[in-house]
Protein backbone atom coordinates (compact mmCIF):
# COMPACT_ATOMS: atom_id res chain seq x y z
CA UNK A 1 0.00 0.00 0.00
CA UNK A 2 1.27 3.46 -0.92
CA UNK A 3 -0.28 6.68 0.31
CA UNK A 4 0.46 9.93 -1.49
CA UNK A 5 0.09 13.51 -0.30
CA UNK A 6 0.62 16.45 -2.67
CA UNK A 7 1.54 19.97 -1.66
CA UNK A 8 2.90 23.15 -3.19
CA UNK A 9 0.00 24.30 -5.30
CA UNK A 10 -1.23 27.87 -5.31
CA UNK A 11 -1.89 31.01 -7.31
CA UNK A 12 0.89 32.37 -9.52
CA UNK A 13 1.13 34.87 -12.34
CA UNK A 14 1.90 33.78 -15.87
CA UNK A 15 5.63 33.29 -16.30
CA UNK A 16 6.09 32.33 -12.68
CA UNK A 17 7.17 29.07 -11.07
CA UNK A 18 5.88 26.55 -8.57
CA UNK A 19 7.26 23.31 -7.20
CA UNK A 20 4.84 20.56 -6.34
CA UNK A 21 5.78 17.85 -3.88
CA UNK A 22 4.35 14.36 -3.48
CA UNK A 23 5.21 12.66 -0.20
CA UNK A 24 4.83 8.89 -0.26
CA UNK A 25 4.35 6.64 2.74
CA UNK A 26 5.68 3.13 3.05
CA UNK A 27 8.92 1.43 2.13
CA UNK A 28 7.84 0.65 -1.42
CA UNK A 29 8.57 4.12 -2.80
CA UNK A 30 11.85 3.01 -4.34
CA UNK A 31 10.13 0.30 -6.41
CA UNK A 32 7.35 2.51 -7.79
CA UNK A 33 7.26 4.75 -10.82
CA UNK A 34 5.74 8.16 -10.09
CA UNK A 35 3.55 10.22 -12.35
CA UNK A 36 1.96 13.66 -12.35
CA UNK A 37 -1.39 14.25 -13.99
CA UNK A 38 -3.69 17.25 -14.11
CA UNK A 39 -7.36 17.91 -14.61
CA UNK A 40 -8.82 21.24 -15.62
CA UNK A 41 -12.52 22.06 -15.11
CA UNK A 42 -14.67 20.24 -17.64
CA UNK A 43 -11.76 18.22 -19.01
CA UNK A 44 -10.38 14.74 -18.54
CA UNK A 45 -7.31 13.81 -16.56
CA UNK A 46 -4.19 14.61 -18.58
CA UNK A 47 -0.69 13.16 -18.33
CA UNK A 48 1.98 15.68 -17.37
CA UNK A 49 5.18 13.85 -16.42
CA UNK A 50 6.45 10.54 -15.09
CA UNK A 51 9.66 9.13 -13.68
CA UNK A 52 10.76 5.54 -13.34
CA UNK A 53 11.45 3.81 -10.04
CA UNK A 54 15.20 4.24 -10.56
CA UNK A 55 14.85 7.81 -11.75
CA UNK A 56 16.67 6.95 -14.95
CA UNK A 57 13.67 7.38 -17.26
CA UNK A 58 11.50 10.47 -17.50
CA UNK A 59 8.54 11.21 -19.72
CA UNK A 60 6.85 14.53 -20.39
CA UNK A 61 3.74 15.69 -22.18
CA UNK A 62 4.60 17.82 -25.22
CA UNK A 63 2.76 20.75 -23.66
CA UNK A 64 5.18 20.94 -20.72
CA UNK A 65 8.50 19.85 -22.24
CA UNK A 66 11.23 22.35 -21.52
CA UNK A 67 9.18 24.02 -18.78
CA UNK A 68 8.48 21.27 -16.22
CA UNK A 69 10.95 18.89 -14.56
CA UNK A 70 10.06 15.76 -12.62
CA UNK A 71 12.43 14.37 -10.02
CA UNK A 72 12.45 12.14 -6.98
CA UNK A 73 14.36 11.93 -3.70
CA UNK A 74 14.53 8.41 -2.31
CA UNK A 75 15.85 9.54 1.05
CA UNK A 76 12.77 11.72 1.51
CA UNK A 77 10.27 9.38 -0.19
CA UNK A 78 9.18 12.38 -2.22
CA UNK A 79 8.60 13.16 -5.86
CA UNK A 80 8.66 16.69 -7.24
CA UNK A 81 7.35 18.60 -10.20
CA UNK A 82 9.21 21.84 -10.85
CA UNK A 83 7.03 24.06 -13.03
CA UNK A 84 8.58 27.09 -14.73
CA UNK A 85 7.26 29.58 -17.26
CA UNK A 86 3.73 28.80 -16.19
CA UNK A 87 0.86 29.63 -18.52
CA UNK A 88 -2.84 30.18 -17.81
CA UNK A 89 -3.56 26.91 -19.62
CA UNK A 90 -1.56 25.09 -16.93
CA UNK A 91 -4.37 25.88 -14.47
CA UNK A 92 -5.70 22.60 -13.10
CA UNK A 93 -5.80 20.27 -10.14
CA UNK A 94 -2.52 18.37 -10.16
CA UNK A 95 -2.39 14.77 -8.95
CA UNK A 96 0.55 12.54 -8.26
CA UNK A 97 0.28 8.82 -8.80
CA UNK A 98 2.34 5.69 -8.26
CA UNK A 99 2.58 2.28 -9.85
CA UNK A 100 4.88 -0.67 -9.38
CA UNK A 101 8.08 -0.53 -11.41
CA UNK A 102 7.50 0.50 -15.05
CA UNK A 103 6.88 4.11 -15.98
CA UNK A 104 3.81 4.82 -18.09
CA UNK A 105 1.88 7.83 -19.32
CA UNK A 106 -1.54 6.15 -18.93
CA UNK A 107 -3.56 7.18 -15.89
CA UNK A 108 -5.47 3.89 -15.72
CA UNK A 109 -2.21 2.02 -15.15
CA UNK A 110 -1.47 3.83 -11.89
CA UNK A 111 -2.66 2.14 -8.72
CA UNK A 112 -2.25 4.87 -6.13
CA UNK A 113 -3.34 8.50 -6.23
CA UNK A 114 -3.04 11.56 -4.08
CA UNK A 115 -5.88 13.94 -3.30
CA UNK A 116 -4.68 16.64 -5.68
CA UNK A 117 -3.42 20.19 -5.31
CA UNK A 118 -4.81 23.23 -7.12
CA UNK A 119 -2.57 25.25 -9.41
CA UNK A 120 -3.98 28.51 -10.75
CA UNK A 121 -2.05 30.66 -13.21
CA UNK A 122 -3.36 34.17 -13.77
CA UNK A 123 -2.77 36.09 -16.99
Tens of pLDDT, residue by residue over 8-19, are 999 999 999 999
Closest CA to 116 of 4, 2, 1: 4
Q: Give pLDDT, residue 28.
A: 76
What's the whole-number mean pLDDT along residues 46-64? 96
How confident is residue 6, by pLDDT bands cut at 50, 70 and 90? very high
pLDDT in tens, 61-97: 999 999 999 999 999 999 999 999 999 999 999 999 9
Q: How far is CA 116 from the centre of its chain?
A: 9
CA separation for the pair 56, 41 (Å, rounded) = 33
Per-residue pLDDT of 28-48, as tens digits, reads 788 999 999 999 999 999 999
Q: What per-residue confidence (pLDDT) applies to 2?
A: 84
Res. 104 pLDDT band, cuts 50 70 90:
very high
Amino acid sequence: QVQLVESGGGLVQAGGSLRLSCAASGRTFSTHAMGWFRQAPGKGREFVAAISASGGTRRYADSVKGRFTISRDRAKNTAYLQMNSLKPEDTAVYYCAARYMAVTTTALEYNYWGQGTQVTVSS
